Structures are given as structure tokens and as C-alpha cells.
Amino acid sequence: MLVKGMNAGAEKSVSYLYNSFLILDLHMNIGIVCYPTYGGSGVVATELGIGLAKKGHKVHFLSYARPQRLNEFESNIDFHEVAVNVYPLFEYPPYDLALASHMVDLIKYQKLDVLHVHYAIPHATSAYLAKKILGDAGKHVAIITTLHGTDITIVGSDPSYLPVVEFSINQSDSVTAVSEYLRDETYEKFGTTRNIHVIPNFVDMDRFQRVERSHFRKAICPNDEFVLTHVSNFRKVKRVTDAVDVFHRVLNSGIKAKLLLVGDGPDRVNVETRCRELGICDQVRMLGKQEKVEEILSTSDLFLMPSGSETFGLAALEAMSCSVPVISSDVGGLPGLNIDGETGFVCPLGDVDEMGRKAISLLRDKEKLSTFSKAARKRAEEFELSKIVAQYEQHYEYVIGKMKERELV
Ligand code: GMT
């Protein structure tokens, strides 16, 4: 380690201090802040926290409700619920302030080394505020912001939020993005010159693997139909009606198939309307929010992700891990995940004809479908949970080391 203006002996002791942190004090106190609802950023944050806790770190989750995937007892994990007091004057109760107050308590009393916030709005801003409030007592805590998607690409770059998001990103001790695409978008949309580290999303390949679910398949597909699946939070950006249109083309080709729609959200009504317009309601199953998505993916032949914007596409990665090839649009981080002609097909945004053609070509060729299915699982290995959790762990250590180094200069 090189520290400006330091003699060899002092440099050695700094190096020892830095290394001793890395080697002796490996167990950190980590605060993780996320949205608790169904959605990629909350899933990534939760699985990361569980992974870190299993490695011996103490993890404190902070959110307005228990994250959906945090549903089993884990001795190294605590959950802290942020309650927002209502008051007649507040038409919009200030969650970001209540969150900042909780963060102050966590940093102070749980002696956090790292406060890792997922999704910039408002988490990065609350974290900045908490650290400012604590002054010297909070100087040691590393605020790490992970950018996930619409916090940059849609909501965050809206003029009503942009200055605050930009400021908060610049004030974090470190910023990570879930794909190169998102990193580049952040550079383009925000006036930030700081280094943004790319740490991709990940999947638990033990959990998300193809398992025998013939009874479920028999119940859903009594006539041995193919199964096409879509999983999302049914926001406009997911273009679920495109998935229905693609499926309609598959049916029109004479292939017997069912479409499983997993999740729920604001666009559900439009999706139901589209199914009725096309007269295919009997072939479409709306399964709603599901805990064990891997069981549904295990009985799927193709996964549809026709999104209008997608920085990474975690749901597609989970499908690939269950050996399900993906038909996706070509936006954002999707071409970087779904390898066109190998793990599935990447088609122009909104081109439901092309998506339909590609889906039909795979379903008509069993050998090709099986090759794609194996390639999808193989591709998922590059995003295997333990590899990426280790990357985050090393990143925390690196940022803390850098902060300690600066303190000593
Ligand atoms: O940004 C969002 O729309 C929300 C976010 C979430 O919380 O679900 O999704 C984003 O983060 C996921 C996890 O990193 C990514 O896999 C999704 O691609 C991304 N969604 C979009 O970019 C639309």
C-alpha cells in the first residue's frame, strides 16, 4: 500500500493495519436497505444479505416491511422495520426522513461498517443525511449505493428527482451498477465522473434448477402442451401484453401451448383485456404472485421477456438457471445476458412477429430446444450466487480500506 509522504516503517504498519482488517476482522456489520416488495432490486438485496450472513457477517435489513424473500430464520440477520408516523399535516408522510433516523440508530448502536443501499431513491439520500447527522461518529461507515434500473433510467432522470439523485450518488462512498449498460446510462444521464463499479446480479443455482414437477405439469397441461412463462411486476415497462401477443402467434401456428403469467401489478387489467380480445383466456393462466417461482420455471419450455427497458433482467437469469431458454427484447442489459442464438433469442423491441417466429422455431425443433436449454443453464453459471456475493464482500473491504487509507494520510 502506498501512502503519500510516509516512511517505510510507517507504511509497513499502515499496510499491516489494512491487511489485518482484511485478514483478522473479516466479519463485518452490514446494513442493507431495500424495497421489500416483489421486484429485482429487493430480491438481489435480500439474497445478498442472506449470502453474507451465511458467511458469518452480521446483517441488518432496513425497510418499511420485511422483504419478501427474507422468509426463513437466519441467526446472523436482524430486520428493522421503518415505521412512518402519520400526522394530519402530512399529505405525503416523509418516509425518507424516518429512514434516515433509523439509519442513524443502526450506524450508532449496531456499529455498522457498511450501509449498503439498493435503489438510489430515496435510499442513497437518506444514507447521506444519516452520515451527515452523525458527523465524526459516522465517518467510518461506508455508504455503498447499488443502482438497479429505473432509479436511473426512468424515475431518477426525471427533472423532479434528478438533482437529488445526482447529488446522493456523488456523495456515496462507492457506487455500483448491476450491468455495464446501467453504468454507461448513469454516466450519460447524470453529471457524475466518479468510478461506478459493475457487479452483476446473481442467482442461487441450487434453488433455481430444474426439478421434477410432472404432477404440476399434468395439471396445467393435460394434453401435453408446451409451457411459455412470463414473470414480472406487471408494470407498463414490462410490456406483458407483448408476451400475450407472442403467445397468440405460437397458438396460431398450430402448436399446443399454455401461457403462465406470474406476478401482479398495474397492467394486469390490460393483460386480461388483451387475452379476451384474442379469445385465448382458456390457454392463459394468471398465477399471481408466487413464492416458489423455481417450481413454475421447472415446468416451463420458454421464458418471455419483451420489456421496454431492462438494465439486467434478473427474472430471465432465474429462468436460464432453471434451463429455460429466453425470448427477449434487445433493450438495456438483455443482449448482455441472453446470448442470441445460444441461450434464446434477442429480438427488436415490440417486434412480436419476430418474437413469435423465434419461439415457434424453437418449439418445433426439440433437439434445438434441448441444446438451448443446456446453454441457458451453462450461461447462468457465470452469475452463480457465491461468486457475486464474494465480489460484493471484496468490494466492501476495498472501500473500507480506501477510507482508512485516506484517514491516515
Ligand atoms: O428499476 C426498476 O424497475 C425496479 C427494479 C426492481 O426493483 O425490480 O428492477 C431493476 O433491477 C433489477 C435488479 O437489479 C434488474 O434485474 C431489472 O432489469 C431492473 N428493471 C429495469 O431496468 C426496468
Report which ligand 1 atom has the smallest distance to the Cα of 38: 8
Strand stretches in 1-87, DSSP E: 29-33, 58-63, 77-81
Of 140, 279, 295, residue with least CA distance to 231: 295
357: its cell numbers: 417466429
Looking at residue 7, its pLDDT comes to 40
Q: In the CATH scheme, what is the homologous superfamily, with its name and number, of domain 27-202+385-408?
A: Glycogen Phosphorylase B; (3.40.50.2000)
Q: Which of 147, 148, 199 to mutate to test the pocket of ligand 1 (most atoms within 8 A of CB)?
A: 148
Cβ atoms of 288 and 265 closer than 8 Å = no
- Write out the chain's pLDDT in tens, 409 residues: 333 333 434 444 444 444 444 444 579 999 999 999 868 999 999 999 999 999 999 999 999 999 988 988 999 999 999 999 999 999 999 999 999 999 999 999 999 999 999 999 999 999 999 999 999 999 999 999 999 998 998 888 889 999 999 999 999 999 999 999 999 999 999 988 899 999 999 999 999 999 988 888 889 999 999 999 999 999 999 999 999 999 999 999 999 999 999 999 999 999 999 999 999 999 999 999 998 999 999 999 999 999 999 999 999 999 999 999 999 999 999 999 999 999 999 999 999 999 999 999 999 999 999 999 999 999 999 999 999 999 999 999 999 999 999 887 6
Q: Domain 214-383 - what CATH class?
A: alpha beta
Does the beta carbon of 178 sit less than 6 angstroms from any atom of ligand 1?
yes
Helix, strand and coil percent figures for the chain, each rounded to 5: 45, 15, 35
Apex 313 CA angle, 316 and 261, nearest 5: 50
Answering whether pTM is above 0.85, one says yes
Same CATH fold assignment for domains 27-202+385-408 and 214-383 = yes
Domain ranges in the chain are 27-202+385-408, 214-383
Cβ atoms of 98 and 84 closer than 8 Å = yes
Of 220, 172, 228, 174, residue with least CA distance to 198: 174
How far away, in angstroms, is 145 Cα from ligand 1 center?
15
Does the beta carbon of 200 sit less than 6 angstroms from any atom of ligand 1?
no
Does the beta carbon of 334 sit less than 6 angstroms from any atom of ligand 1?
no
How far away, in angstroms, is 271 Cα from ligand 1 center?
20
